[in-house]
Structure 1
Amino acid sequence: MEWLWWIGAALLFAVVEVVTLSFVLIMFAGGALVAAIACAFGWPFWAQVVVFGAVSTFLLLTFRRYLVHRFRTSTPVARTNADALVGREAVAIAEVSESDGRVKLGGEVWTARVPRGAGAVAQGEHVRVVRIDGATAVVEPLALGTGTTDVPGPAVTGGS
């Protein structure tokens, strides 16, 4: 029944791995499972520890890199905070120049400016956020016909 200790260790490693997602402890869980098999066949404790170490090391060196790569490429990146605002459209509520201006962005009023060399944006024009510098949105005017309005259009009803 000593093999149950190895099974318990494997379960503990697996549970902690679920919390950390480091792809290290799951390799230790695999080593503990093989050590449990060695224990069930009556191998001495020192041999079980050697099997645990060898299998864990083998798994770490061969599978961890693949699993980390697979996890990172299959998990979508969620942009948050200021990064989520880049690329969004806004409306200039005051003239926006290289040094000053205000835009309505995501229902909030932001200080804004245009990049150097870009012309000023008149009040009411639609702009796109290029980047966020601190608490200032750096914006550029949208090309004609690509902007959207904040005012909803007339309701479309099905008819017949």
Structure 2
Amino acid sequence: MWWLLWLTAAVLLGAAEFVTLTLFLGLMAGASLTAAVAAGLGASLPVQLLTFALASGAGLAVIRPIAKRNLAQPPVSRDGSDALVGRSALVTREVTATGGLVHLSGEDWSARAYDEDLVIPPGVRVDVFQIEGATALVHPRDPLPDPELEEK
């Protein structure tokens, strides 16, 4: 019967870990599973408690510091042309699906519209969505004015 109580504790602790993401409760759930196995093999209650204590102590002393160290690593830095993705640029020559020119990070870059149906006139601010070779795929930051409304 003890194995069922340990297993229930493991499930409850695992669910609580899922909500809190502290890693502490997850390690306690793992320790409860080891105690459930000990109970299932017929170990006495003191042996089950000792198994739980040793497993939780080992998890907290060994596994948790390693996991926290790996979670605390700095974000991956982007360099080269990948660092330009997400930046803002200014259209200097009309950008279409076939080509154009933008001023990006102090340099002129060849550009194409990310949306093939767009024609982006000079002077419009765009965001760089992707870099393909030496060409920036861009999209207007703000909606473009409707050319039909301007003609009226």
If the length of structure 2 is used for normalisation, what is the TM-score? 0.49
TM-score where L is the length of structure 1: 0.47
